[in-house]
Structure 1
Amino acid sequence: MTTPVQDTIDLRREMVATCRSMNSSGINQGTSGNLSVRTERGFLVTPSSLPYETMQPDDLVEMHFDGSYVGRPPSSEWRFHRDILQKRSDINVVLHCHSVYATTLACHNKAIPSFHYMTGIAGGTTIRCAPYATFGTQALSDNAIVALEDRLACLLSQHGQISLGVTLESALWLAIEVETLSRIYVQALTLGEPPILSDEEMERVITQMRQIKYSMSQQA
């Protein structure tokens, strides 16, 4: 179980910086995407419809797990942030973005198979794609929870991706890695379906990743 993060001005500044890094790294565009961090009183989440370039630390919304909040309206996707944080005591951060190549695969309801050993960074032999549901709904949250079982990332059909982490840095790192894998997979598909590594080999890969803490998303 991870320790909740104390709600401080430094945490809020780090969240704003992470949001801006989502855009500058190319994994997000405009006001799409959202970010949350578990705190001692609930969680902080990005507000609705506010560009990251103008977002300030005080704009981040303090939410409680009963759905109540303090401040401006939260992201329309607050439900899956709340539900994932409630379900997953091993993580503190939920990052959602509409990265181009991950969303390309999601538009075809296509999971990322173990065509490359780095698929294991999300904790399993695949990065699943959750079935489609309308944004902001409980159905979308329920679908994401299932797709994230024993995983640190998933795609959302015809929507985008979710990446989890213990820290803001680790969640952002994983989201960029998922996007990189997605781009390679999309390009590999132009030559035909690539060969898939066996489950046995992926188990060896994942075990080795855990032993050497290869995946930053596993780091506290």
Structure 2
Amino acid sequence: MTDNYQGIREEMIATCRRMNAAGLNTGSSGNLSVRIDGGLLITPSGIPYDVMRPEQIVEMDEDGRYYGDFIPSSEWRFHYDIQKARPDIKVVLHSHAVHCAILACCRMDIPPIHYMVGVGGGSVVRCSGYAPFGTQALSNEALKALGPRNACLLGNHGVIALGQTMTQAFGVLEEVENLARIYIGTRTLGAGVLLSDADMDVVLQRFKTYGKQAGEIDPSIAERVEPPAHGGASRR
């Protein structure tokens, strides 16, 4: 392990600071890990993001050992287990976003109240059972609630968001917190109207082409997002 991953370390700190600045987390709670060759990088335990330095980001190997002078986040177990169980993702971001935490404290899933629930990779954002922070039991609960999806709530705790990049995981976290706020709002008006399984099947198909440019869109996907007619390289 000779690569210092300086750029990744700096982006990790910037992402955590952005998370707090956006109101998606407070203080030194929450944590972030990024897959690297042969292991992962993870934020250290108890160091506030505003004073965190790149060399304090902790490297772990595939056998769960850490290297260097700083201890990894107390939640290293679910980061390690998720990274191991989900080779399709590279980033695990955890926060105590307020509206997600409110639902998590009520042990409530976010149902298909809005089509953007699909950003989590399924028709529901599930809430896990409770287990003490930093335990293997919590990691097991997180894996169960996530399944193949990209987000879950942690019972009486917070939220986990996954992605291929830090920007993508941050976007999932941001959207899930917004969905939690929307869902809480609909319940004050009587519960809202949920989308059907058939509705969400269409949404999840369309999400496969959502945000992609022309060359990235798979024409075999029947329910795809269609751009308007192309008028050429330039209008003039």
Equivalent position SS for 1:63? strand
Aligned-partner Cα distance in 1 for 2:186–2:12 = 34
1:27 and 2:14 aligned = no
In structure 2, what is the equivalent of residue 96 of structure 1? 94
Shift of 1:66: 2.0
In structure 2, what is the equivalent of residue 162 of structure 1? 160
RMSD, aligned CA: 1.1
Unaligned runs of 5+ in 1: 1-5, 215-220
In structure 2, what is the equivalent of residue 110 of structure 1? 108
2:13 to 16, 28, 36: 16
In structure 2, what is the equivalent of residue 218 of structure 1? none
Shift in alpha-carbon separation, 1:110–1:7, aligned structure 2, 3 A: farther
Shift of 1:92: 0.2
Equivalent position SS for 1:195? coil
Q: Deviations over 1:97-141 (max 9, x none)?
A: 000000000000000000111111111110000110010000100
Q: Deviations over 1:11-52 (max 9, x none)?
A: 111111001011001100001000000001200000000000
Q: Is the 8 A contact 1:7 1:40 kept in 2?
A: no
Q: Is the 8 A contact 1:130 1:147 kept in 2?
A: yes
In structure 2, what is the equivalent of residue 183 of structure 1? 181
Structure number, greater radius of gyration: 2
Normalising by structure 1, report the TM-score: 0.93
Equivalent position SS for 1:129? coil
| Identity %, equivalent residues | 51
Aligned-partner Cα distance in 2 for 1:57–1:147 = 32
Aligned-partner Cα distance in 2 for 1:9–1:36 = 14
Equivalent position SS for 2:34? strand
Equivalent position SS for 1:44? strand
Equivalent position SS for 1:130? coil
2:66 to 59, 65, 69: 69
Q: Deviations over 1:168-198 (max 9, x none)?
A: 1100111011001111111111111111100
Q: Is the 8 A contact 1:7 1:39 kept in 2?
A: no
Aligned-partner Cα distance in 2 for 1:30–1:162 = 17
**Superposition misfits of 4+ residues, deviation over 2 angstroms:** 211-214
Unaligned runs of 5+ in 2: 213-236
In structure 1, what is the equivalent of residue 129 of structure 2? 131
Aligned-partner Cα distance in 2 for 1:205–1:141 = 29
In structure 1, what is the equivalent of residue 48 of structure 2? 51
Aligned-partner Cα distance in 1 for 2:145–2:107 = 12
Equivalent position SS for 2:208? helix
Equivalent position SS for 1:10? helix
Which has the bigger relative contact order, CA under 8 A and spacing at least 6? 1
